[in-house]
Structure 1
Amino acid sequence: MKSTKYIKLLCMLLLPTVFISCNKDDEYFDEKYQSTPITVTQVYLEDYESSVPDRPITYARLGQLIRIEGSGFYGMKKVYINGYDTYFNRAYVTDNSMLVSINSDTPVSDAEPEERNIIRFVKNSTELSYNFTIRAASPTITSISNTLPATGEKVTVYGTGLEETSKVTLPGSIEITTGIESDEDGEWYSFTMPSGVTTGGSIYSEGANGQAATPAYFNNADCMILNFDGSGTQGFWSWSETGSMINADDLVTDPVSGSNRGKCLQLIPERLIAAGGIMSGKPRASECWTAGNDDAADDWSRMYQYIPKETPLTEVALQFDIYVAENEPWSNCGHIQINLFNNFNFAGIGSDDDGSSNQVAFYVPYIQDGEIVPFYTEGWQTVTIPFSEFNKYATLIADKETPTFEDVVTDRNSASYRNFGIGFVNTDFTYKDVTVESNTFATHIYLDNWRVVPCKDIIISDYPEDEEETE
């Protein structure tokens, strides 16, 4: 049970500030207090929602309310946190304690070096500078540029609050402390993939604002669908020189210098590009499938040992890697359709395939924020599409249902043909309020490493014991 003492304290803070006279008879300004030495013995975090509402701490974040304990506070004139003149209500100042809310405008990484991580208490005739760490909001992770990198490839992790990242720990407890670059605005950090990383999982990082973790899909190939190099089986039938079906002879060697990934899929085969490209208005322009019913790997229940069948689909994703060269960007034409099994026509967005009950998803990377932006990548880039974004499951979630990974596996195994497929569609369509008209298409788009991964966000609490109590 939370302490009644601190709930009452919160209620007091929510009351309008009591006006206190500033005339010469106000004892707070009596000169005898202005020379009393200031000491700080402990700083506490005031959080009535926590199991420890008055918690001793060694750092605090912007926006948090702290209680400072010590002596000589009565008569305090100014408090500067990281050099920022911080308001405090003297109604909540005694000689041994005072409450201060850390303003969200307080500088952190951009504070002056001599003022950073210092709370300065000022009275007329004395002052005290107290060393205390100030952090911005807890860091978060939004994506990873390349979750299945080869040794020597650059990896960039995107998010917020990632400034001054100084340590990165990869799966298998492999630590990186040198060669890390990070954005001064905290939007990313990067490192070079070392050798010897043999397991998959999360990346943990440490920086100015604390620790952050990625979902557990880094270097995770446990649930590979097809990598074109022996993991998974490609299926093809009714192949022709001018047809949409992609066979093993259409595969190409990794075009990215130094990547050494072996074989990969060229989404528009070279034979079609050489013949003039994909004509405008063409559905089912190209297609690549797994082997289907006769291949044990196409029974995804094999993945339950890595991703429990009861996992919500917001926490399970399809991943694949894509490469589009900077000198040949993808723009203004076409899109990728992803079919969970072979029951759809690769007719694209706006077709019968694009129904609320269908197990399909689409990928149109050149439409960004309502505009068409030429798309290219710096080396291989990972695409992550949670299964919750496939039409059928997105509809269920919108109806307040909770589909699980077992639903995906059941849908595939109950289909007449459980081939998994990705293909290119070159028709007119409208996506996210942007209308695209088809044109002849001959851009080189490369895909590799189709896989299923866990994608649950990992939130690292400053005080994990609170999480344990609420579980």
Structure 2
Amino acid sequence: MKQNIRLLLAGLMIVLLAACTKDDGPSGPPVIHRVSLLDSSKMDSAFVRALPGALILITGENLQGATHVLFNNFDSYFNQAYNTNTHIIINIPENATTEATDRNVPNELRIKTDRGDAVFKFTLDIPPPAITQISNENALPGDSVLIFGSSLWLINKITLPGNREITQFSANPEGTRVGFKLPDLGTDTGRLSVVAKYGTAVSNGPLNDHQSGDVISNFTNDGEAGELPRLNWAWWGADRINDATKFPGTRGFYLNCVFGGVGVNNGAWWEGGRSGNFNETVLFTDAIRTRQASDYALKFEVNTKEPWTTAVCVLRFGENFAVRWKPWSSLPGNSFHTENTWTTVTVQLSAFKTVADGVEGTGASAASMADLVAAGGKVAFTFRMVSEDKPIEVFNAAFDNFRIVKIK
């Protein structure tokens, strides 16, 4: 790839240098005529705004000997070898100053030489906002909710289900996190939107989705308070409890998986409350079986009382497809801990895999929803806790609101 870029630059420089054979060098202060993309087929398409990171061609006069090229007063590296009297090739730095980091940016491109400066009105846009995760999609009224993503800058409002608008929020300077207090959503369910100056981002799943037809189980039974019942539980495995002192922040019952003293390579998930077992339930019509698995995700909330460091949670659909979920495996110290708060987990359904070499969840990926959803729209789901090459000394976590949602 780098070699291709070098060849492209070399070819363009030959074209540019050939066009400048009559140049005798700078004869006065620099002048910028236009900015275009570094593409020989698009050099005639001038523009006055671009995203940081763009590779551009600056065209003008007396540009030879430029000492500095600045975008919004941000000094930017450029290769003098690609600088002629009429052209400069430069990458706009990814970290150049934009309106997102300085509301008073001058929106200009400046070229400095020993003979004077050239100034050109030029705006550095920022990418539209994107949401990668919401801390808890089933938070309670008054709870703090965090939105994680990118380009979360210049936000005008956050829109919640029921057309509720949040204008009081706190964002970090890096544009990767926004926090707010959740109002009472009642029974309204829907997706969260971040409305910003440079675009709108929408969450990949609905908020307050704990009692809809998407839900496999919320562990609430008929006659129990807190939410509409979506039990579908097989009455064995981990403990179904509603003790708010152990895991506060839920609407009622949840599944508490607590055990310890499990040796290496122990797959006896049926022992010691190490599983969540659910009755087969109808969630869909047959039409969904033609859809791509990558368009849907399994979501649920998890709450850890102890750091999760070795246990493997095998999430299963039917007898053939599974995910070996190890949330700790890519984290510092190989430790996953929600600090006794409820956190939403999203697992794309295309991540579920067949058995390979006798190991669940290591073979071919699910391609269509027909791989995971049986005829009649029936879903058979379970989860099982096993060990691999390390023992499980102690495990204490709670699970709630297993559901399948469309994410694309």
- TM-score (normalizing by structure 1): 0.64
Q: State how 1:29-178 maps to structure 2 within 5 Å.
A: 29-31=26-28, 34=29, 57=47, 59-66=49-56, 73-76=60-63, 77=66, 79-83=69-73, 84-85=75-76, 87=78, 89-91=82-84, 93=86, 100-104=89-93, 107-108=96-97, 117-122=107-112, 127-135=117-125, 140-162=130-152, 165=155, 167-170=157-160, 173-178=163-168
Q: State how 1:173-322 maps to structure 2 within 5 Å.
A: 173-182=163-172, 184-196=173-185, 198-201=188-191, 203-206=193-196, 210-211=198-199, 213-219=201-207, 221=209, 222=212, 223-229=214-220, 230-236=228-234, 244=237, 246=239, 250-255=240-245, 259=249, 261-268=251-258, 277-281=259-263, 282-284=268-270, 285-286=272-273, 287-292=275-280, 298-302=281-285, 308-322=288-302
1:165–1:189 Cα contact (<8 Å) kept: no
**1:437 equivalent in structure 2:** 391
**1:420 equivalent in structure 2:** 381
**1:338 equivalent in structure 2:** 315
Which digits, 9 at most, give the CA deviation of each residue in 1:104-123, with x for residues without a partner? 36522597887663212445
Cα gap change, 1:376 to 1:124, in 2 (>3 Å)? closer
Cα gap change, 1:193 to 1:309, in 2 (>3 Å)? farther
| 1:450 Cα deviation after fit | 0.7
| Structure with the higher fraction of residues in helix conformation | 1
| 1:80 Cα deviation after fit | 1.8
**1:379 equivalent in structure 2:** 341
For residues 289 and 396 of structure 1, what CA distance do their matches in structure 2 show?
18
Cα gap change, 1:338 to 1:114, in 2 (>3 Å)? closer
For residues 447 and 199 of structure 1, what CA distance do their matches in structure 2 show?
20
**2:225 equivalent in structure 1:** none
For residues 40 and 339 of structure 2, what CA distance do their matches in structure 1 show?
47
For residues 234 and 124 of structure 2, what CA distance do their matches in structure 1 show?
59
Aligned-pair identity (%): 19
**2:323 equivalent in structure 1:** 361
1:138–1:161 Cα contact (<8 Å) kept: yes
Which digits, 9 at most, give the CA deviation of each residue in 1:269-323, with x for residues without a partner? xxxxxxxx5553553232333333xxxxx1232496xxx4433212211111011
Which digits, 9 at most, give the CA deviation of each residue in 1:403-452, with x for residues without a partner? 212331127968xxx65323444xx41xxxxx31133x4x5411111100
Report how many aligned residue pairs link the two structures: 372
For residues 260 and 390 of structure 1, what CA distance do their matches in structure 2 show?
28
**2:224 equivalent in structure 1:** none
Flag structure 1 segments of 5+ consecutive residues without an equivalent. 1-10, 269-276, 293-297, 344-357, 430-434, 457-471
Which digits, 9 at most, give the CA deviation of each residue in 1:357-399, with x for residues without a partner? x222233333335853252336210111122222229999976
Could you tell me which of 381, 391, 394 is aligned with 2:353?
A: 391
For residues 47 and 355 of structure 2, what CA distance do their matches in structure 1 show?
44
Cα gap change, 1:360 to 1:257, in 2 (>3 Å)? closer
For residues 212 and 28 of structure 1, what CA distance do their matches in structure 2 show?
48
Cα gap change, 1:204 to 1:115, in 2 (>3 Å)? closer
Cα gap change, 1:43 to 1:260, in 2 (>3 Å)? same
Which digits, 9 at most, give the CA deviation of each residue in 1:450-470, with x for residues without a partner? 1001233xxxxxxxxxxxxxx
Cα gap change, 1:172 to 1:303, in 2 (>3 Å)? farther
* Equivalent AA in structure 1 for residue 276 of structure 2: C
For residues 30 and 157 of structure 1, what CA distance do their matches in structure 2 show?
54
3-state SS of paired residue (2:179): strand
* Equivalent AA in structure 2 for residue 194 of structure 1: P
| Structure with the higher fraction of residues in strand conformation | 2
